[in-house]
Amino acid sequence: MDAQEELDRLSGVFFTQGEFVASVSGTTTPVVDPATAQEIGAFPHVTAAEISDVVRAANVAQKAWWAESGLHRSELLHEVASAMRRISPEVAEIMTRETGKPFKESSDEMMWSVSATDYYAEIGRHSVGSVIGTSVAGQMHYTLKEPMGVVVVILPANFPVLLLMWEAAAALAAGNAVIVKPSEYASLTTLKFMEAFEALPAGLVQCVTGGGEVGRQLVSHPETHMIGFTGSVPTGQAIAKACAEQFKPCLVEASGNDAFIVMPSAQLRTAARAATFAAFLNCGQVCTSAERIFVHEAVYDEFAAMVVEETGKLRIGNGLGKVDLGPMEHAGELARFEKVLARALEQGAKVVQGGGRPEGLPVELQQGFFHEPTVLTEVTPDMDVMTEEIFGPLAPLCKVDSFDQALELTNSSQFGLGATIYTSDPVEMHRATNEIVTGMVWVNAPLLDNDAGPFGGRKMSGLGRQLGAEGLDTFRHTKMVMVDPAASEQDFWWFPYSDEESFTPEA
């Protein structure tokens, strides 16, 4: 593949009814490679009329899709997974060029998406309801699981394919059609990825590009039936409010500022490597990044030295090279992150590793949006860096004097996405898993996901669950059915009421 030729082909189009179509919109936004700051393409902001056509096509395709057998849907979804394997190298290259993440991470993302798709291909046909013990003899009571209809998936840039497929695979397996509104910073990747859906009926999966206004139109459109949103808290709130107007169900996966607790019984070198990975994977732009690292005072200095050492080994550069870290997603994110860091220093934190833009990058990367992975000590819980989401390459180390204090600080956050603890003490493990108020808790195993188990947040981190069986039900209605095959008289409660059951005043 000639990458630039491919980016040119994907520029200016959206994906509808199985084809890439040039948008009539006069508004386009340039796409910039964050490693080089060079323009590599452009995406259109599709028009209201184009959105209406896409929604209409999705509704037609959805009805035919749901009329098929569960086995047929499963077979076609397995074909999608196979196509994803086949196109993975090309999509991963485009993803790295557009988002900056190392090619290995782009490729991993493709493979994780394959396993989620295969998983939902199977559980989608496993059960479409359950039989319930009757409340009246001789009847049949059961539930039917039915699709929502047209599901709109609105995405951020940090995992453009994975976050799409965690929702789209489940939604499709449940019998829905999907319209994707990708991030402004991953639109060409998402368009390229549409090739994975070749086996599906035209119109079942479509991709419309644009900014918040395109997302807003899809959310409020009366013929879309559910919204799956991943992104920031303010946008999540705006979408939840818009959905409330129509009582449209929505899944909201919003921000996090996950705690990472290190106790004295932890295997310290392993914990330091884990914290370095959890803080800096994808340049810290992961909703479940380790953002508040609480270290017991007995091991604080030793642990900090190890994290500094591990961080010092990381190679930074173009994600297409032999590197561990690429640039941040875009110039705006770099500028925002630099303010977060400056504020932490102003409030008394100390840089012990990194702290600025990397020096010595090759000339073609010198305008790129790079920042050194940075380790902070002398961090206190009241600092802004510990209360707001960081979403960048920063590992703030905060000293705690006890396990109880670590738990209390972990739970003091407005967010509740995930939390990690490193310990070898079974009592601490048990208490952490029971007492931490988040959607996920990892004990000595940071950032792991499992297609077969649920993912999602509590508090300001969001609403609802994706992945696992719960993540399938997120995209299904439950219908209760009660049948009396004999159409029997049900005089135990029908008219006329008996006089004996009427109100009798006390004598």
Q: Summarize as ranges the residues that interact with ligand NAD (CB under 6 A).
A: 154-158, 163, 181, 183-184, 211-212, 215-216, 219, 230-232, 235, 238-239, 253-256, 287, 389, 391, 417, 457, 461-462
Pairing of strands 28-33, 38-44: antiparallel
Query: Least distance (Å) from ligand NAD to the CB of residue 216?
Result: 4
Q: The tokens of 28 are what?
A: 């386009």
Render 224-286 in DSSP notation, one character per residue.
--EEEEES-HHHHHHHHHHHHHHT--EEEE----EEEEE-TTS-HHHHHHHHHHHHHGGGG--
C-alpha Rg value of the chain to the nearest Å: 26
- Report whether 429 contacts 421 (CB < 8 A): yes
Residue with tokens 């996405």: 417
Q: Which is nearer to ligand NAD, 156 or 468 (CB)?
A: 156
Distance (Å, rounded) from C-alpha 165 to C-alpha 115? 10
Q: Strand runs (DSSP E) across 23-160, as ranges?
A: 28-33, 38-44, 131-132, 140-147, 150-154
Query: Least distance (Å) from ligand NAD to the CB of residue 60?
Result: 24
Distance (Å, rounded) from C-alpha 394 to C-alpha 352? 11
Tell me the residue number closest to ligand NAD, measured at CB.
Answer: 215
- Report whether 16 contacts 206 (CB < 8 A): yes
Q: Which is nearer to ligand NAD, 154 or 397 (CB)?
A: 154
Q: Which is nearer to ligand NAD, 330 or 476 (CB)?
A: 330
Q: Which is nearer to ligand NAD, 51 or 306 (CB)?
A: 51
Query: Least distance (Å) from ligand NAD to the CB of residue 178?
Result: 15
Q: Which is nearer to ligand NAD, 215 or 264 (CB)?
A: 215
Query: Least distance (Å) from ligand NAD to the CB of residue 211?
Result: 5
Distance (Å, rounded) from C-alpha 336 to C-alpha 101? 18
Q: Which is nearer to ligand NAD, 156 or 264 (CB)?
A: 156
Distance (Å, rounded) from C-alpha 316 to C-alpha 281? 12
Q: The tokens of 372 are what?
A: 């050194």
Query: Least distance (Å) from ligand NAD to the CB of residue 457?
Result: 6
Query: Least distance (Å) from ligand NAD to the CB of residue 201?
Result: 25
Query: Least distance (Å) from ligand NAD to the CB of residue 447?
Result: 12
CA triple 69-75-81, angle to 5 deg: 140
**Selected catalytic residue, list 253, 329, 333, 389:** 253
* Of 110, 148, 162, 175, the residue nearest 251 (C-alpha): 148
Q: Which is nearer to ligand NAD, 163 or 397 (CB)?
A: 163
Distance (Å, rounded) from C-alpha 60 to C-alpha 36? 43
Helix (H) or strand (E) holding 478: strand 476-483
Q: Which is nearer to ligand NAD, 284 or 317 (CB)?
A: 284
CA contacts within 13 A on the Cβ side of 107: 9
DSSP state of 202: T
Distance (Å, rounded) from C-alpha 110 to C-alpha 27? 30
Q: Is 372 among the catalytic positions?
A: no
What totals of helices (H) and strands (E) does the chain contain, helices first?
Answer: 15, 22
The residues assigned a catalytic role are: 253
